[in-house]
Amino acid sequence: MDVARAPQKKTGRNAMIGAGILLVVVVTIALARLKPAAPTVEDATLYKDSVRRGDMVRDVRGPGSLVPEHITWITARANARVDKLIAESGQSVKMGDILLETSNPDQQIQALNAEQQLSAAEAQLVTLTTTLHTANLSQEGLVASTNTAYIQAKQDAMAADTLLSKKLISTFEYNNKKASADELTQRLRIAKEQLALMRSTVDSQISVQRQQVNRLKDIAKFQEDILASLKVRAPDSGVLQDLTLQPGQWVTSGTTLAKVVQPGKLKAQLRIPETQAKDVQIGQKASVDTRNGIIPGHVSRKDPSSVAGTVLVDVALDGPLPSGAVPDLSVDGTIIVEQLKNVLFTGRPASGAGTGPVGIFKLVDGKTAAIRVQVVLGRSSVNFVEIVRGLNVGDIVILSDMSQWDQVERVRLK
């Protein structure tokens, strides 16, 4: 016969299950509140520098090239066809050496026409001079003959006065004598005035014609010079460059044919970033690296405008050129803009090159980790930057690009 049993209580088992669930919830909440582990960065790949106090040189740097200080450009003075190339680019030439020969028949005709007009004007000058002098001599002869007739008429009139008083001539004849004397007096006066007028205009007429001759002479000389320029000569001694013409090629007036440079007199033209060029001034010391030696120099010119984000700065070279220094050689230049005394500085970080606040990782925990600190940067140069606040002497900071860790405040180094 079966005996009924009372059911067992489950209080202890349920309590254990509830405690387990509570433990899981607590652990989950605790894990959720934990910060993620700091990422690890390979220490050997980082570039670091220490913060120090002392004198800092501010400088700017830019690439550039060596260019001649003196360049003589050769341009075509007339439209012409290239007939013959006598010199080549890279060849040393002397002043007056023929570089190439060109031709233009129209220019020859213009020169001949100018010469013909000059010859005709010179002939007109000779004819005019002869004509005026002949007319002047004729007028002088007329004055002389009129003066003789005047004297004779005056003497006749005086004699007529005496004869009339003695009633030896009639009044009619006496009046004729007086009228003749008066007429010759007027004729002599007019002849002298004409002679004076002719003499006063001779020089001016000849001067006008002579000026015309001189103008035509200048035109003829100009045309002759252009005709002579068809044989292109070196205007200066040096090295010929950029002569790229070919025989048979047609060039127009004003076209650049070539240039002559003096290779021993070079300067550096540097392209300085416009953000740094504002501090560059004329006379500042500079150095130019030709990759075969460093040449000292100074700033001699600065472009007033910016092109493609850079400002062109000329550096005059104060030292001798190293071997192999030729025009258009690529160089790097550094310009010293300021020397700062007793400032806190470190190496220039890859990011935050400008002034103002920036986040920089500083080494902590015996150089096994780095934390981000806010640093205010001041004036900067090519390799260094001034620390206004945020770091102290002896701090070691990471200068490498850490932009991939912008979302973390701490990294581990291994």
CATH number at residue 407: 2.40.30.170
The strand order across the sheet containing 238-241 reads 71-75, 256-261, 238-241, 92-93
Q: How does the average pLDDT of the chain come out, rounded?
A: 85
Structural domain that includes position 150: 105-226
Q: SS3 of 383, please?
A: coil
> Quick one: 114 and 192 in the same domain?
yes
Residues in the chain where the model's pLDDT stays below 50: 1, 31, 34
Q: Which residues contact 40 (CB under 8 A, 6 or more apart)?
A: 411, 412, 413, 414
User: What pLDDT is recorded for position 31?
Assistant: 47
> Quick one: 268 and 391 in the same domain?
yes
User: What pLDDT is recorded for position 16?
Assistant: 67
Quote the CA–CA distance of 59 and 393 in Å, as a whole number: 23
> Quick one: 280 and 409 in the same domain?
yes
> Quick one: 144 and 282 in the same domain?
no
Number of helices (H), then strands (E), belonging to the chain: the values are: 4, 21
CATH number at residue 234: 2.40.50.100
User: What pLDDT is recorded for position 217?
Assistant: 93
Do residues 375 and 387 lie in contact, with contact meaning Cβ atoms separated by under 8 Å? yes
User: What pLDDT is recorded for position 6?
Assistant: 52
CATH number at residue 161: 1.10.287.620
> Quick one: 90 and 153 in the same domain?
no
User: What pLDDT is recorded for position 292?
Assistant: 87
CB-count burial class (<10 Å; 0-12, 13-18, 19+) for 294: middle
> Quick one: 49 and 85 in the same domain?
no
**CA 264 and chain centroid, separation:** 21
User: What pLDDT is recorded for position 28?
Assistant: 62
User: What pLDDT is recorded for position 1?
Assistant: 46
Q: Which two tokens stand for residue 218?
A: 């200048």
Within a domain: 4: no
Quote the CA–CA distance of 250 and 241 in Å, as a whole number: 20
Within a domain: 20: no
User: What pLDDT is recorded for position 335?
Assistant: 93
Write the pLDDT tens digit of every residue in 5-14: 555 555 555 6
Do residues 193 and 91 lie in contact, with contact meaning Cβ atoms separated by under 8 Å? no
> Quick one: 240 and 276 in the same domain?
no
